[in-house]
Structure 1
Amino acid sequence: MLVLLLVAVFSQSLAQHWTDTGNIKWRKCGTSHDWVHVTKFDIEPKPVLLPGTISVTLEGDISHRLGHQVTMDIIVEKQLLGTWVRVPCTGTHYNVGTCHYTDPCNYLRTFERDGQCPPQLQNNGIQCTCPFDPKQLRLTRAGFHIGAVTHGFEGFLRDNNEYQVTIKLNDKHNADVERMCIQARVHINVR
């Protein structure tokens, strides 16, 4: 029994460990029962310059078909005087900040309405709309251009600072059980 308790405590401490890539820090904050597992994640450059182009590396897998049965929370926090302060959700066409999506599949339909999934995703076999079937995920230094900071959000990014982003998927058919959690810390500078 003691051995099981030690294994449980040790595995929890590993789940909380931050991986420092030299560009960002990230960690898995979910469980071994998550439906999405990330094993490698990085964003370049350090700091991220906005507007500008970022390079994203991602490896992992989806182990369960994802569709309308999940909700998604994106929590964006800015470090201010040693404390993490949540950035509110804002936007008209695209939401930015700390936002809750009761149906992220509906939000992803934006790609259909705009007519195109980013080629960086398509070229790596990653689709932009639901459902997402179980599969391996792999992006290697895929470049994405981020345009000007949207109106209403520039105030939060005005000061060059460190940000923490947490993404959670929850199973809405199973008492909102968390099915994925990943956190990343990144430095952002606005030009």
Structure 2
Amino acid sequence: MRKLILILTTVFALTATAQENLYGFTVKDEYEKEVKLEKYRGKVLLIVNTATRCGFTPQYKELQELYDQYKEQGFEILDFPCNQFGAQAPGSIQNIRQFCTENYETTFPLFDKIEVNGANELPLYTWLKSKQGFRSLGKGIKAKFMSGMLKKKDPGYASKSDIKWNFTKFLVDRQGKAIARFEPTQSMKEVAKAVAKAVAE
């Protein structure tokens, strides 16, 4: 049985990574209704795995500011809560929606809670990681601290494409191709600059 699961997981992963763009994927929204990402064709997307009790949670404010600035120009932020990192996205999806609305007045699309690494990872994330692997945590105190934390758990973490923590961001262009990846320790100014460029193209 375990062998069969491993084979099926491998097949699904290969199928996901073979896609040229993200439009073939289907995800679930906050009401557990299926959403075909085809609906976002022609838009610039920022896909983020979020958490409500993380040191990076205040990035919701900057994400909303970014959304307000560019949404009329065909920009969307897709918010995927994930509880895999320090169990920092507890509660139901309704709890998460309430938290985000009350604390950060978020208006961008919220999707169902997912896993981004491992056997149960969302196929969309399998694809994203295959197109934009891990490069660097960037510079600064937060990056240094996170690097030390990750090394304790896995000395070879930097050689793997896995999502390292909450608020990792993938930028997808208007053709549905993943063109950049930003770790949570990287400046939101870098993210904003890349978004502005993608929206203008």
* TM-score above 0.5, yes or no: no
Q: Which has the higher contact order (CA 8 A, sep 6+)?
A: 1
The TM-score normalised by the length of structure 2 is 0.25
Name the one with the larger strand percent: 1
Name the one with the larger helix percent: 2
Bigger radius of gyration among the two: 1
